[in-house]
Amino acid sequence: RATRSLHSAAAQRAGPSRAEPGCESSGSRQSPGRPSLTAMSFLRRLLWGATAGVGAAGAIDFWRQDERAFRTVFMPVVHRLLDGEDAHRLGVWAAKHKLFPRSTHRPAESMRVSLWDLHFDNPVGLAAGFDKNGEAVEGLARWGFGFVEIGSVTPLPQPGNPKPRVFRLPEDQAVINRYGFNSEGHEAVAKRLTQYRADESRTPCILGINLGKNKLSESAVDDFTQGVTKFAHMADYLVVNVSSPNTPGLRNLQARKELDELIVGVLSARDEACKGARKTPLLLKIAPDLTKQDKEDIASVVTSRHVDGLIVSNTTISRPETLKGASREEMGGLSGRPVRDLSTEVIGDMYKLTKGQVPIIGVGGIANGRDAYAKLRAGASLVQFYSAVTYHGPPLVKRIQRELEELIVKDGLTSVSEAVGAAAPQVDRVIASAARPGLASCGSMDPFFRIPDQARLPPVVQGAHTEAATTAAPSSASAGSGHSPFELR
């Protein structure tokens, strides 16, 4: 009897075990129009499944380095979440930590270039400005670049110009920056590159080091010679950058007298650093905003002083009327698609003025294989890009290489070097694969990139020399490149 009483009390507390026919307990009623719990659970699972599917597809596209996915999904998301400089820093950080998979594209043999005494696996390189402090050389080499140029590196650390200082113009596929040589300085970068060079497992990559001057420096010549001395043994080639519009007075060094004095100083420093050995190639990076006289003066100095090469060109201080981006009036250097044709024109001019005897690295507005090919035909032996990564991501490297290969085949050429200067037939072209004579390198420690001594050609091409030139270039004051409201002074 006691047991039955307990069971009866428990049953009353729990309520009826099942509803009577035609009746429904209040706890199981559903409000009109509301899906059942089973339907809600199904929808929730469907949503999670779709999210997981999209995530998996995105991960596959990322791992496969799908160019369309980067252009239409990944990069626009980054642009929505981050401003220009933060997105830039994220890219460097991701490359530093090797978060992007290694490129699976293998350039054809027709893409190989031999210049100075270096072997370039392909002619497509990364321009200076992306990795300013040599943080991510290994990660960038994995993207498939034929060479990577870091910098600009200044002697002393400096923060650069105030923020904000990077502005995207998506409608124009362009960027305006006024970084102002923000740099960690020679010592920090040299320490980092020493560690990089000591890593025997690193990806083979030709390394260029772009040198700058401190904003408050009293002597540009001293700043650049310090850079040459510091990095001559670490670089495969060195670059003297006198063309950034974001350091007051820097572009004045492109004037004939000032440029000649600078070139004499840096060549002397290079020769001293590499005494008794092959001299690390020294290149000059110039602006696109030059008068006819400026170009003639620069050509005269680099040929008479036997500068090893030119990089054409840096950002422009001009503002085409076709610009649509909201930030088009910001001060600084404009890069990307709007500078493409201007850069190609200057490449052609300098190729003709130097009679094809000074190798040129063409940079400015390259976003596909056709852009790169146009610069090669204008006179460039190698090409670089940077701004297009902002909109297309790392997969753009293999796309440019693939399209360039197709154009070479279409034109019936056997080597990319055969295209160099093809648009300037009146110039008696120097053999593009000519190597500089000399002894063992004092630059790169990568013998993989060195042309054997027996394969070297006579020292009559491509600015070849074993000692610094002593012939003085004619001097006269240049009008310079003038000033623009978009140039920092």
* Residue in this structure with the two tokens 């003709």, named with its chain if needed: 352
d(CA 268, CA 266): 5
Residues in the chain: 489
**387: DSSP letter:** T
**232: DSSP letter:** T
- Pairing of β 382-385 and β 124-126: parallel
Angle at 338 between CA 337 and CA 339, to 5 degrees: 90
d(CA 144, CA 396): 10
Cβ atoms within 10 Å of 85's Cβ, excluding its own: 16
Is residue 399 within 8 Å of 369, Cβ to Cβ? yes
Angle at 437 between CA 429 and CA 137, to 5 degrees: 90
Q: Which of 244, 313, 433, 478 is catalytic?
A: 244
Q: Which residues contact 402 (CB under 8 A, 6 or more apart)?
A: 105, 369
Annotated active-site residue 243? The verdict is no
147 strand-pairing partners: 125, 206
Angle between helices 340-353 and 369-378 (to 10 degrees): 20
Cβ atoms within 10 Å of 244's Cβ, excluding its own: 27
Q: Which amino acid is at 128?
A: A
Phi, psi of 170 (to 5 degrees): -60, -35
d(CA 272, CA 381): 28
Angle at 309 between CA 303 and CA 314, to 5 degrees: 115
The strand order across the sheet containing 333-336 reads: 166-169, 174-177, 333-336
d(CA 111, CA 122): 5
d(CA 94, CA 100): 7
Is residue 98 within 8 Å of 139, Cβ to Cβ? yes
- Pairing of β 309-312 and β 333-336: unpaired
Is residue 246 within 8 Å of 488, Cβ to Cβ? yes
* Residue in this structure with the two tokens 């996915």, named with its chain if needed: 69
With b meaning 16 or more CB within 10 Å and e meaning fewer, what string describes 114-129? bbbbbbbbbbbbbbbb
**239: DSSP letter:** E
> Which residues are known to be catalytic?
244
